[in-house]
Structure 1
Amino acid sequence: MYLTPEEEAIFNGERGATYQKAIEILAALGDIYGADRLIPIKSAQIAGVSYKTIGEAGLEWISDLKGKVAVPSILNPAGMDRECWKEMGVSQDFADKQQKIIRAYEALGVRTECTCTPYSIFDNLAGLGDHVAWSESSAISYANSVIGARTNREGGPSALSAALIGKTPNYGFHLDENRKPDILIRVDAALHNSDYGALGYIVGEMVGDKVPFFKLKSAPSKDELKSLGAAMAASGAVALYHVSGITPEAGKYDPPEEKIMIEQGQIKEVYSSGEPDLIAFGCPHSSVEELVGLARLLDGKKVKKDVWICTSRAIKKKHPELVKQIERSGAKVFCDTCMVVSPASERFNCMMVNSGKAHKYVPNLCGVKSIMATTEECVKAAVRD
């Protein structure tokens, strides 16, 4: 892979060890995937934040880095609510380690909003055609598919390296030829809300890392597209999808010849019933519109089980009355984290979610049984004696 004279100087250590290691990581990725050069990025979104997932080794590595990011960069969810961690049941030791990780990223100039939906609070991180380096699976999918920006499935170290250098290798979804759809998904069902997460759960398992092209009966909202992409990224490895007439690049392509038909019965099979001891929403983080919907469903009710609603701190701060309305029911609105990356989830036996992404990850990452249900059924389970 070609490096400019300036990049060669960084590679040779002229800006110090942190930048040298960063460009070594990027150059190695470029060589592996056949990139011709490094290209400038507009922003980075960095995973590898929860102490639960990176542990002592990750904390030590991040703490040793010295430098500043070159582009706007934002963190993924951490392992706890930074203010209400005691309410979640997080230990003092974990909280101390988690705060050290966040401070280490902050010292590098990374914004510490700790959200998997940075596009919901910043409108300048990515636009149509922009190259970015994002590393959280649902954020990658949203950036590529709904915004029409361009990013590969970055790991935490490669996204941080790209943030420090301000560039990423030119391969994969940064190239036009790799963004064309591979398989047509026709959906013979009327979908609503959490049905899109159930659809994504099914399709991800079917297509792996292919690029799906959807023909849908109705137009999904941005929150529904968020749920669809998040589930496909979790149950498969889908980083880009197109929806006919909806997503910004879909009009460039003809529907692929290979096709799959999804029917209403298949959607219903993803859902199940049971008696959870935790009902959790916000994977990916809840938008304002989703919080409004939950407030309406919980209005005048009292929850009889633990209910967590995860969102970004920026949204919680901007809408305090909405949060109060929700929490009058006894539900808790947590920020900076989610049920998947927090160790606090592990004390429960059975979790009910309305998210295809959470439904896939909770059993594997938390060791907790998962039940997926519609948003309405989740609320009914929460208030049931």
Structure 2
Amino acid sequence: MMIKLTDIEKKVLQGDSGRLQQKALENIISYAEALGAEELCKVTKATLGLGAQPYLNHIQSDDYNKIFSRVYMCTDEVLDISHNKFSASCFCMTCTENCDTEDYEEVGLTQEYFDKNGRFLEFARAAGVSMASTCAPYLLGWLPLKGEHFVTTESSNAMFCNSLLGACGNPDGVEAAAWSAICGRTPKWGLHCAENRYATHEFKIQCPAQSATDWDLIGYTIGRMLPAGGIPVITGDFDYPTTVEVKQLFASIATTSGAVMCHILGMTPEGQTMAMATGGHGVKESFQVSEEEYRKSLNVLCDAAPGPVDFISLGCPHYTLEEIRDVADYLCDKKIMAGVRLYIWTAYPLKEMARASGYLSIIENAGGRIMTSSCPIMVGESIMKNSRGVALDGAKQAHYIRSMTDVPVYFGDKYRCLDTALTGKWDLR
């Protein structure tokens, strides 16, 4: 299939913008042909999985240009990214990394790995990528608007931007996202096309929907029940979720399904009415998110028996400043039990805002830590070494951490997790 190219794209393909952009566009065209796309669309926002990711170790070299060329660009030709800027029309940010920006020892990593990560990110910085290192870039001003096309390596980010902002994008692998960031184009397919954005299945909420934890469990349940390839529309008698609640909802839907778009009837821009959400076609099937299904999800995520806990992790996706404030207010004049670790994960600009607001000092005085740029899922098993029990306030984190540890895993709201940090035990309620 011949891909229809614009005059600008033809010039890039001819090498007018340099070999790096030329190779990226060659890859995007091959990608489009494999997908059956007939044309490309202009990408103006991208988040990229860069830094010293573990899979890069398969390339036996310390030359990042060689590593980037082999893994990201899929070529034996060594392309120098340090002297080649990514597309000027595409605003690029880094996604989460495998270590905290400042503290490698706390999470069980070596200085060698920490230094390598910084060195690799320096290449990206030189190529024009902004350092953000977060799974929630929309909290930092990375905000593709309605009709704007983006690429991202983070499924929860794709869900948030497609659903709440009305932007258009698919979650891509690290390679395809890099190609798009470099040449500013992606295949016009999937959710880049209006006809693929309509709801296919209705989910009627008949369970609690009053907190971030409720919406996290609702999302986890919807993802469990959603047929493959479906796009949900949420209906029912509930107050519209807040930004924090929507953040949790969308992350957990993406965790238990392949969906990266969700309509909330009357709230999201493409779901103001049922006819609008479904394109006038109606839904294929309706489901009830009952209290029974809600409890079933909770039982999957949270071990039943009480027990000792010495590892508490809050912030999946990364915490907002509002959530950090809530933790600081709750911990004020309290002390975390000796031997218990409490981590709050966020983006490092938000950590600085927490510092300026006085929240950081309160949390640290209580014995907690605000960590940045990563999370236990990204860091890996080293962060939970020798833990006796784990407590989490994010369904996505609880879902994935079960495969990383043999100790009990507990899921609940941030206040229950904070109580656990104060007592060192998950109690029945």
Report the residue type matching 1:319 in the other structure: A
Is 1:267 the equivalent of 2:313? no
Relative to the length of structure 1, the TM-score reads 0.92
Give, in whole Å, the separation in 1 of the partners of 2:51 and 2:252.
21
Q: Would you say the 8 A contact 1:52–1:342 is kept in 2?
A: no
Aligned to 1:87: 106
Deviation digits for residues 159-188 of structure 1, max 9, x if unmatched? 111111112111110111100001001110
Alpha-carbon distance change, 117 to 99 in structure 1, aligned in 2, over 3 angstroms: same
Q: Kindly indicate whether residue 351 of structure 2 is the aligned counterpart of residue 324 of structure 1.
A: no
2:344 matched residue in structure 1: 309
Between stretches 280-289 and 15-24, larger displacement belongs to 15-24
Counterpart for residue 277 of structure 2 = 253
Counterpart mapping for 1:1-385 below 5 A: 1-49=3-51, 51-52=53-54, 54-57=56-59, 60-62=66-68, 64-66=79-81, 67-70=84-87, 71-122=90-141, 125-191=143-209, 192-207=211-226, 208-216=228-236, 217-251=238-272, 252-254=276-278, 256-271=283-298, 272-273=302-303, 274-304=307-337, 305-320=340-355, 321-343=358-380, 344-349=382-387, 350-364=389-403, 370-385=409-424
Q: Distance in 1 between matches of 2:390 and 2:54?
A: 19
Shift of 1:280: 0.4
Q: What is the Cα deviation at residue 218 of structure 1? A: 2.4
The answer on whether the counterparts of 1:49 and 1:77 sit within 8 Å (CA) in structure 2 is no
The one-letter code of the counterpart of 2:144 is A
Q: Structure 2 vs 1, CA of residues 362 and 54 (structure 1 numbering), >3 Å: closer, same or farther?
A: farther
- Report the residue type matching 1:269 in the other structure: K
Cα distance, 1:266–1:361 mapped onto 2, change above 3 Å: same
Q: Distance in 2 between matches of 1:307 and 1:183?
A: 39
Secondary structure of the 1:139 match is helix
Q: Secondary structure at the match of 1:381?
A: helix
CA drift at 1:50: 5.2
Q: TM-score, normalised by structure 2?
A: 0.83
1:61, distance to aligned residue in structure 2 (A): 2.6
Residue 368 of structure 1 and its aligned partner are, at CA, apart by 6.7
- Alpha carbon RMSD of aligned pairs, Å? 2.2
Q: Which runs of 5+ in 2 are unaligned?
A: 70-78, 425-429
The 1:52–1:201 alpha-carbon spacing in structure 2 relative to 1, beyond 3 Å, is farther
* Structure (1 or 2) with the larger CA radius of gyration: 2
Question: How much has 1:366 moved relative to structure 2?
Answer: 6.8
CA distance in 2, matches of 1:270, 1:53: 32
Match of 2:285, as an amino acid? E
Deviates more, 1:251-260 or 1:87-96: 251-260
Note the residue ranges of structure 1 that are not aligned, 5 or more in a row: none
Q: Deviation digits for residues 229-261 of structure 1, max 9, x if unmatched?
A: 111112221100011122111112256241111
Contact 1:311/1:335, CA 8 A, preserved across alignment: yes
Letter in 1 for 2:40: L
For the 8 Å contact 2:12–2:25, the answer to whether it is kept is yes
- The size of the alignment, in residue pairs, is 384
CA distance in 2, matches of 1:268, 1:299: 32
Deviation at 1:53, TM superposition (A): 5.0
- 8 Å contact kept, 2:56–2:67: no
SS of match in other structure, 1:364: coil
